[in-house]
Amino acid sequence: MKYERMINSEQETKALAEQLAVRLHAGDILTLEGDLGAGKTTFTKSVAKGLGITRNVNSPTFTILKQYEGRLPLNHLDVYRLADSDEDLGWDELFYGDAVSIIEWAHLIEEDLPAERLAIQILRLDENARKFTFMPFGKRYEQLCEELFE
């Protein structure tokens, strides 16, 4: 099952992210795929806002991981620069803790990801329009998508 949503403005992207955020539980894993400029970081910023995180959330591209405190803690990863790395960066502790994890370019660490997760793909259609595709892996995320898109 997958869920598609057409988005016409950055404001709609932010609204979708905030609607998702209020439904998130401890330990939830979200992966974000999409070309540069698709809106992965923009989406993440609004998830953070919806989690009650007041600190500014920036792209973590040069640090790979940033962590924030909110209603739930947030791990924000951008693994774009890990493409050719075989390092063990201790993902297990990160992904199996209480924080929500959001991973930009997650396919680059596919083998380190928990099997159950919500995969979100963002396709840039034009300057402001996007197509979001939500693909739940596992019961928890199927339920989450049903709530979100009911």
Q: What tokens were used for 49?
A: 């806002």
DSSP state string for 48-69: HHHTT--SPP---TTTSEEEE-
Contacts to ligand ADP by CB under 6 A: 7, 9-10, 13, 34, 36-42, 59, 128, 130
Interface map 45-64 toward Mg ion (x if CB under 5 A): --------------x-----
40, 76, 117, 130: residue in contact with Mg ion (rule CB under 5 A): 40
Residue 42 site contact among Mg ion, ligand ADP, none (CB < 5 to 8 Å, cut-off depends on kind): ligand ADP
How far is Cα of residue 40 from the mean position of the Cα atoms in its chain? 7
User: What CA–CA distance (Å, rounded) separates 18 from 140?
Assistant: 18
Task: Choose which of 13, 31, 41, 46 interacts with Mg ion (CB under 5 A).
Answer: 41
- State in angstroms the smallest separation of the CB of 139 from ligand ADP: 28
Burial (CB count within 10 angstroms: exposed 0-12, middle 13-18, buried 19+), residue 19? middle
Q: Which residues bind Mg ion (CB under 5 A)?
A: 40-41, 59
